[in-house]
Amino acid sequence: MRLLIILTLICLCISFFASRGKTVMGIKKGFTMFIRLLPTLLLMLALVSIVLFLIPRETMAKYMGEGSGIKGWITAAIFGSVALIPGFIAYPLCGILIQSGVAYSVIAVFITTLMMTGFLTLPVEVKFFGWKVSVIRNLVSLAAALLIGLVMGLLL
CB 109 within 8 A of CB 73: yes
**Distance (Å) of CA 72 to CA 1, 63, 76:** 31, 5, 6
> Looking at the domain assignment, is residue 13 inside a domain?
no
Q: How far apart are CA 4 and CA 7, in angstroms?
A: 5
> Looking at the domain assignment, is residue 127 inside a domain?
yes
CB 116 within 8 A of CB 145: yes
Supply φ then ψ for residue 55, to 5 degrees: -95, 120
Q: Domain of 112?
A: 55-155
The CB-side HSE value for 76 (13 A sphere, CA atoms) comes to 36
> Looking at the domain assignment, is residue 24 inside a domain?
no
Q: How far apart are CA 53 and CA 153, in angstroms?
A: 27
> Looking at the domain assignment, is residue 36 inside a domain?
no
CB 110 within 8 A of CB 95: no
> Looking at the domain assignment, is residue 140 inside a domain?
yes
Number of structural domains found in the chain: 1
pLDDT tens track, the chain, 156 positions: 789 999 999 999 999 999 999 999 999 999 999 898 888 778 877 877 787 778 777 777 777 877 888 888 999 999 889 887 888 788 888 888 888 888 999 999 999 999 999 888 888 899 999 999 999 999 999 999 999 999 999 998
Whether this prediction's pTM lies above 0.85 is answered by: no
> Looking at the domain assignment, is residue 79 inside a domain?
yes
> Looking at the domain assignment, is residue 12 inside a domain?
no
Type of residue found at 63: Y
